[in-house]
Chains A and B, each alone.
Chain A
């Protein structure tokens, strides 16, 4: 063997790394088997444990996941000392999960004709939605973990034509060390029904746990589903979230993902558009600070004709932070007259921040309109100088540009109290006082 060739030197090293991640994954699985118990016989060996050689994990380091797992000591809002409702002024139904356990005392379930809403563990004989060949459980190792261990979450059925009067707030809270929270939200919205969901994740100062959430939603013919998803977790919490959305004819589904805070966050959204005339909308804003990592992977699968999708992700990266965006759009041969739009724009607010952005369009139909754009840049220096020449401070000028930059994403949030609280928390995190008297959208 010619050991002078660099590839030959590299390969054993890569294989060793691969073997190490497989071993770490196996160790985590046996710990989880012991602490959480196997809930469903999901085989995890069909897919590799993520490491840098796996395309979908190329820019996403997973080393922080290999931590000890402990049964959490705290399972209630009262013991955790957190807010039951993290969104002031929000009038919503509420399900609170502390370290993965449903807290009935802190929750407020809807009593509404045509609405079945309960913690997943209490659904009795009612079935969860089926996992199929396209579900993430079969193709992604962490989603597989969710399949194997999930037993708690939201179980929601909205009957034909029913429009729920208030949003449903799902609040995940993580505290302490070693918790591994696995949650499954199972949602079906029937013909012409409509519901708004707010998914809000918090973690206590110094928390060191893992969050693995999978939301599966079936949006029926003519139905509407809005999800406002906010991640604002302190400590060193790792958070991975899947949305597996299946859309029927003329349905409308939106997911807005705002990452305010999080040491390690990955969102993996998949929209399958199965019925004609449907519309999918995916927007996101992420503003990682020093040391934070935020990854947004999205897939929009246009399977039938006459559908539209619109995607808009904005990132502003501070300090030594890292961002990842990967946006897949498939337009299958039958999906004629598809109109798919994708945009990802990023600002590096620090020269130590880095962003890996990649749009991936695969178009197999000829009569379609697909556009995409992806930019990574800095703050507009002309605009900053212009503002400063009027006496606006540098940081305030930047905050103004940030507000303008992510304004369209924030405006898309379905629930206005959520938008206000997101603005408040972002301002608090970054020390922006101008936002308080800076409601651009009043214009």
Chain B
């Protein structure tokens, strides 16, 4: 599904990713944990195609295609999705029209006709139910004035609408209350399938009780310094990151 090899990236002259390798097979859920500023969101942005980041080396293969050759739109249409750590507000563009443009973009890529009004609304209804997204939010401007938790639900709603092959969830759990965390996680779990993979970025082991990962990686200073099973998350929760950092230095 996704094969990242020795990826190096910088922003405004500062190098952030310093040779990161990671392979994710179809159906797998990988979790990435790591200290603030270690480069987790940078990795997510680079994979999604944000142009402000300079790729300085390495390669990313996505389902047999060179991901780094595609622009952000093409990556999304090819089935990559990023649930943002900080979803963007777009005043004046309604959530529903935004999603219609997104769904039709994907359909255009697949050589299909734009979706019919009724079919689209039925789909919206079904997917909104999945994450219990308040119906009123659909007609409001994209994320504008949404609470932190509402924004995160909206991200997962969008993911459900677009049915990606590979989804990156960047701290989707932060800002969610206890019930919302469960609901959103169940929404994600409902989408797990042998063809779909996830990369879940989080600071807290608790999320991984709900979305149980196959692998856990620790990102420190732009590199993956340790990988393991879901138990690694417990170990981190208990001991923090210092012991790993010390391990690296040693």
Question: Which A residues are closer than 8 A to B by beta carbons?
Answer: 380-383, 385-394, 396-397, 400-401, 403-405, 407-408, 434, 437-440, 443
Contacts and interface: CB of A to CB of B under 8 A. Distances in A.
B98 A400 contact: yes
Given A389-B76, A394-B73, A443-B139, A383 B88 contact: yes
B49 A391 contact: no
Contact of B106 (A391, A403, A438, A443): A391
A391 B101 CA distance: 8
A391 B98 contact: no
B200 interface: no
Contacts of B71: 388, 394
Interface stretch (B16-24, B89-97, B179-187, B206-214): B89-97
B87 A438 contact: no
B72 A400 contact: no
Contacts of A386: 84, 87-88, 90, 142
B133 interface: no
B70 to A, nearest CB: 11
A335 B97 CA distance: 44
Given A386-B84, A400-B93, 7 more contacts: A387-B102, A389-B82, A389-B84, A390-B162, A397-B101, A400-B101, A443-B140
29 contacts: A380-B90, A383-B89, A385-B88, A388-B71, A388-B76, A389-B48, A389-B75, A389-B76, A389-B82, A390-B98, A390-B101, A390-B102, A390-B158, A391-B73, A391-B77, A391-B162, A392-B105, A394-B71, A400-B101, A401-B90, A403-B93, A404-B90, A404-B92, A405-B92, A434-B101, A437-B100, A438-B97, A438-B100, A439-B97
A392 B102 contact: yes
Nearest to A408: B92
> Shortest 3 CB-CB distances between A and B: which pairs?
A404-B92, A391-B76, A390-B102
Query: Which size class do B's interface residues fall under?
Result: 35 or more
A439 B96 CA distance: 10
Contacts of B88: 382-383, 385-386
A405 B91 CA distance: 8
A57 B115 CA distance: 51
B50 interface: yes
B94 A443 contact: yes
Given A389-B49, A392-B73, A440 B162 contact: no
A315 B109 CA distance: 32
Choose among A380, A386, A393 the residue with the greatest number of B CB atoms under 10 Å from its CB.
Answer: A386
Contacts of A401: 90, 93
A388 B100 contact: no
B167 to A, nearest CB: 11
A89 B50 CA distance: 44
Choose among A389, A408, A438 the residue with the greatest number of B CB atoms under 10 Å from its CB.
Answer: A389
Nearest to B91: A404
B96 A388 contact: no
B87 to A, nearest CB: 7
Interface string B138-166: 01111000000000000000100010000
Contacts of A407: 92
Contact of B90 (A387, A391, A393): A387
Interface in B87-126: 87-94, 96-102, 104-106, 109, 114
Given A386-B88, A434-B101, A391 B93 contact: no
A392 B92 CA distance: 16
B91 A391 contact: no
Contacts of A440: 92-94, 97
Contacts of A397: 101
Contacts of B162: 390-391
Interface string B178-209: 00000000000000000000000000000000
Contacts of A391: 73, 76-77, 102, 105-106, 109, 162
